[in-house]
Structure 1
Amino acid sequence: MGTITNGKTTKDFENEQAPGLDWRKASRTDLDPILKDCVILAAAPDAQEHPHPHVPDGTRMVALSDDKDPGGPVLYFTRAEIRKFLEGAKAGEFDDLMATDEELQQAAAVAA
């Protein structure tokens, strides 16, 4: 069985497509009770026979999924890809895609 943590609380959690992984979500989301409202990431097994030729065996991978759908798809990225994405996010390159305060309030009302 895997887990999910927001850095404050850890709970049992399993994504059927990637069993046994220990998932992480942003500390700004709750786990008590667990609110399914976030993109989640986990350290994944190293790549083996990856279909893309630029991902050799042994490449360290990260799994990405949505905690609202524990049976849903899992996307795998190299740690280099995740680093480049996070660097862009920290630089504000995706700020125009973030929810407005009003959208956050609406999402919280739906989750309640």
Structure 2
Amino acid sequence: MPKIQNGMPAKQLPNAKWRKSRHSGAVGNCVELAPLVDGGVAVRNSRYPEGPALVYSRDEIAAFLNGAKDGEFDDLIA
């Protein structure tokens, strides 16, 4: 398997177990996440499952999720 890096094609992560939020729509407009063997988290657009995967550390994902839970990004969808 190639070295895991930001922007790599998601198809190069064959063991990734992709999942999306239960709040996602049915028309393919979803963000999917997958835990990685190195402890990181990959993110991809469900409309382009073979497209690039953005790769984040656990700390980066935790910071984002905590901010989302605190409402820091609510203005983006208002």
**Whose Rg is larger?**
1
* CA RMSD, 1 decimal: 1.6
CA distance in 1, matches of 2:15, 2:64: 25
CA distance in 2, matches of 1:26, 1:90: 14
Residue 36 of structure 1 deviates from its aligned partner by 1.3
Paired position in structure 2 for 1:16: 11
Runs of 4+ in 1 over 2 A off after TM superposition: none
Q: 1:74 aligns with which of 27, 39, 53?
A: 53
Contact in 2 for aligned 1:17/1:72 (Cα 8 Å): no
Size of the aligned set, in residue pairs, is 69
**Structure 1, gaps ≥5 residues long:** 1-14, 47-59, 101-112
Structure showing greater relative contact order (alpha-carbon pairs closer than 8 Å, 6 or more residues apart): 2
Percent sequence identity is 43
